[in-house]
């Protein structure tokens, strides 16, 4: 796991605050089971009627609302009795639901953490490959055929340098004669692996070669070149931030889990692997 000191610290602070708040409010809402009183208030009724409207596109009638309230009371009674009997213990669905709610809580917190400038910059540099803009090259090419004698090549080259119409020289072919400014990978997918690598060091506007492609030999005139690189953070901040969030969200959630798990002494039968 990546260690993220700064955000983790914020994260823990927020976490403590939220879990603390839940601790503080939960006894009030759930704690009066002993009183055996079930009170349905206006807020509950409003909620029932809103839900009804959402599915039926109209307000519930008196009778329908009455039935909804009865159902809610019935559910509450059954839930309380079930709890007393301990029926919630060991139920895989309830356990999964509770665990899921905790996960929601931690990921929600994780997504609210803002990294500082240095953190984001470091992330950009660590993942440079993903954010790099590609190097581009544009060129004209004259195809010499699968093989070319040095003498033929010299002949074409001298014709080129004497200003003859280059597009009429060499062996006719379906290959692109003029490649517009394109990423090196695009050039390689048209001319074969490694072709572009031989272009980037050529002098611009000068016929050079022979350069080997997947088809044979070429004379090439580079007409433009634009080095790729890592754009400054400011230009791509939003993209970097969203990638950082997506990636660190998992790490932060895992860190939170580890903090919680550290409160327990965990024993498993030795010699057995995990259940994955």
**Contacting residues toward other proteins, per CB under 8 A:** 92-93, 96-97, 100, 130, 134, 136, 146, 167-168, 172-177, 180-181, 183, 185-186, 188-193, 195, 213-216, 224, 226, 235, 242, 246, 275
Of 92 and 268, which has the nearer Cβ to other proteins?
92
Environment class of residue 217 by beta-carbon count within 10 Å: exposed (0-12), middle (13-18) or buried (19+)? buried
Least distance CB 13 / other proteins (angstroms):
29
Environment class of residue 52 by beta-carbon count within 10 Å: exposed (0-12), middle (13-18) or buried (19+)? middle
CB 138 within 8 A of CB 222: yes
Of 8 and 138, which has the nearer Cβ to other proteins?
138
Least distance CB 107 / other proteins (angstroms):
13
Of 65 and 183, which has the nearer Cβ to other proteins?
183
Q: Is the torsion defined by CA of 264, 267, 273, 274 positive or negative?
A: negative
Least distance CB 188 / other proteins (angstroms):
7
- Both tokens of 119, joined, read 């953190």
Of 197 and 224, which has the nearer Cβ to other proteins?
224
Least distance CB 30 / other proteins (angstroms):
20
| Whole-angstrom distance, CA of residue 264 vs CA of residue 31 | 25
Of 96 and 206, which has the nearer Cβ to other proteins?
96
Least distance CB 91 / other proteins (angstroms):
10
Sheet holding 136-145: strands in order across?
178-183, 136-145, 217-226, 207-212
């Amino acid at each position: 796991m990546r260690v993220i000191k700064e955000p983790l610290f914020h994260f823990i602070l927020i976490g403590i605050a939220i879990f603390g708040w839940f601790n503080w409010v939960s006894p009030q809402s759930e704690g009066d089971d002993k009183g055996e009183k079930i009170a349905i208030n206006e807020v509950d009724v409003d909620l029932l009627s809103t839900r009804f409207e959402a599915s039926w596109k109209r307000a519930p009638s008196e009778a329908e609302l009455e039935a909804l309230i009865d159902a809610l009371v019935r559910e509450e009674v059954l839930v309380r009795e079930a709890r007393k009997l301990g029926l919630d213990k060991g139920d895989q669905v309830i356990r999964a639901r509770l665990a899921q709610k905790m996960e929601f809580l931690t990921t929600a917190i994780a997504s609210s953490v803002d990294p500082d400038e240095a953190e984001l910059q470091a992330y950009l540099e660590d993942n440079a490959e993903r954010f790099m803009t590609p190097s581009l090259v544009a060129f004209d090419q004259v195809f010499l055929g699968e093989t070319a004698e040095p003498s033929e090549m010299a002949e074409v080259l001298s014709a080129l340098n004497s200003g003859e119409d280059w597009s009429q020289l060499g062996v006719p072919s379906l290959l692109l004669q003029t490649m517009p400014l394109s990423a090196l990978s695009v050039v390689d997918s048209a001319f074969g692996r490694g072709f572009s690598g031989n272009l980037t060091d050529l002098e611009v506007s000068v016929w050079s070669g022979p350069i080997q492609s997947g088809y044979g030999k070429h004379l090439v005139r580079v007409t433009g070149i634009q080095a790729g690189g890592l754009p400054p953070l400011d230009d791509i901040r939003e993209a970097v931030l969203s990638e950082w969030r997506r990636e660190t969200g998992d790490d932060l959630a895992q860190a939170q889990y580890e903090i919680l798990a550290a409160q327990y002494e965990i024993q498993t039968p030795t010699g057995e692997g995990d259940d994955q």
